[in-house]
Every structure is written in C-alpha cells, then in structure tokens.
Structure 1
C-alpha cells in the first residue's frame, strides 16, 4: 500500500511537469492538464482521507481519550487526597484544641493547688508569728517589769547619791523613800 501511494505521488507530481516542459507555461494553469490534475487530486485526496480516517485519527482519538481518562483519574485522586488531608487537618485541629484545653485545666489545677499550699503555709507562718509575737510581748512586759523594778532601785541610789553630794552625808532609806514619793506626787 505504501509503495502504491509513493508511486502515485511521484506520478502526480512528475506528469504535469513533463507535460509543461513540452508545451511551455505554468502547468497548473495549462487547460490541457486539468483532467489529469483533477484525477490525481481526487485520488490523492481520497487516499489521504482514507489514511487519516482509518489510521491517524483513530490513534489520535485513542491518545486523547487515554489522556482525558488519565487527567480525570488524576483529578479524582487529587480531590480524594485533598478531602483526606482536610479531614486529617480538622482532626489535628480538634486534637490540638483538646490538648490546649487539657493543658489549661492542668495549669489551673496546679495554680489552685499551689495557692492552697501557699495559703496553708502562710496561715501556719502567721500562727507561728502570732505565737512568737505573744511570747515576745510577754518577754517585753517581763523585761519592762524587771526594768521598772530596777528603775526604783536606780532612782533610790540616784536620789541617795544626789542628797549625799548636796548635803555631804548619806540619807536614810526612809528619807529617800519619802523624797521619791513626793516626786511622784503620792
């Protein structure tokens, strides 16, 4: 079939040139070669039409159909993968939100536990400080009482020393007591 087509094409191109050489002029415009040109045109067109419709176009159509099927399959797989990825992302977001809520609950529990422990320790420390304060006040009062008792003795000694310095002789204990009571306003 190929040989036939090759020889037909050769003849279709060679005959008009040979005829033009013999008569002169441009062969397609030579009216004497119109019949041969039309015959070869019809034969060539028919042959090319048959080849295209039976061989080339079915192959191209099959390739296009295969390509379209591949594209549709790829798009379907991509949409499935996208849907799966979106579902996975949503699941991860929910897990993240749950983990955040859990972490906040744990932190809140730790804060409240810490606050309770601090309050308990503060209360204990305050009680200890209050007890120490009471003990310190008692000690201060005791020391104050002792000091006040000593103040009277110191005052007696001071009055006695002053009187002795002024008068030149040591006063009696009764005179010192009388002078202290007078100074107090008793």
Structure 2
C-alpha cells in the first residue's frame, strides 16, 4: 500500500497539515464564534429563566403564607363564633331551666294547696260519715238514739 511507504510520509504529512489548516480556518474558525454566541445566549436564557422561576417561587411562597394566615384567621374567627354560640346556648338553656324550675315550683305549690284542700274535705267528710255510722251502731247495739252532733263532739274530745 502506498500510504505505508516511508518515502512518501513527508509529502503526506505536508498535505495533511495543509488540509487541516485550511479546514480549520475555513470551517472551524468562522463557526466557533457563532457557536460561542449561541452557547452564551443559551446560558443567558437559562439564567434568565432561573431568575424568573426564583421570583415566581418567591411570589408563590408569599401567596401561600398569606393564604395560610387567612385560613388561621378564619379558623380562629369560626372558633370564636362557635364559643359565643355555645355560651349563648348555655345561657338560653340556663334561663329556660330556671323558668321551668319556677313553673314546676309553682305547680308543686298549687298541687300542695289542692292536696291540703282535698285532705281537709276528706277529713270533714270522714267525720260526718263516722258520726253517722257510730250513731247507727250505737242505736243497733244499745238501742239508744245518738245524734251525729253528739258523736262528733265525743270524737273531738277523745
């Protein structure tokens, strides 16, 4: 093979160097600055995107913090309203219990008065019935006629 002939190495190296220099200055030298500009533009774009993302993250964090604070405030207000409603309900229930207790006491007093009246009426009726029956029993057993007034007077003294 002629490429491996040592007598032609010098000319091959010359032409290799010349073609390499020509291609380097014709292709790489004009392309390299353009490629550098593209890489620099891309780096600038990435940096800009990262800065905007960081700013957006800061805004999102601020919104999240405000949201959390408003949720806490709303929960505190709701708990305060619930506590106030519980207090109002307890006071209303206490008032109703007191009114009911007063009504029950009044009903108990009225029932006691009616019971005393019924007891008194029953005693007077019982005294009349006992006097009549005692008078009849004495009349049957002894043959002596006794008036109910005499029997009532005798019972009162006994």
Instruction: Classify the TM-score, shorter chain.
Output: 0.7 to 0.9
Partner of 1:41: 16
TM-aligned CA deviation for residue 34 of structure 1: 2.1
Q: Please, what TM-score do these two structures have when normalized by structure 1?
A: 0.74
2:54 is the alignment partner of 1:79? yes
Q: What is the CA deviation profile of residues 142-164 of structure 1, one whole-angstrom value per residue up to 9, with x for unaligned ones?
A: 11111111111122233234445
TM-aligned CA deviation for residue 67 of structure 1: 1.6
Q: What is the CA deviation profile of residues 116-157 of structure 1, one whole-angstrom value per residue up to 9, with x for unaligned ones?
A: 112122212211221121111111111111111111112223
Q: CA RMSD in A?
A: 2.2
Q: CA 1:44/1:161 → structure 2, altered by over 3 Å: closer, same or farther?
A: farther
Partner of 2:110: 135
2:64 is the alignment partner of 1:70? no
Q: CA 1:61/1:170 → structure 2, altered by over 3 Å: closer, same or farther?
A: farther
TM-aligned CA deviation for residue 169 of structure 1: 4.7
2:8 is the alignment partner of 1:30? no
Q: Please, what TM-score do these two structures have when normalized by structure 2?
A: 0.86
In structure 2, the gaps of 5 or more residues are: none
TM-aligned CA deviation for residue 104 of structure 1: 0.7
Partner of 1:125: 100
In structure 1, the gaps of 5 or more residues are: 1-25
Bigger radius of gyration: 1
Aligned length: 157
Partner of 2:122: 147
- 1:59 and 1:82 map into 2 onto residues whose CA distance is 34
- 1:172 and 1:32 map into 2 onto residues whose CA distance is 181
TM-aligned CA deviation for residue 109 of structure 1: 0.9
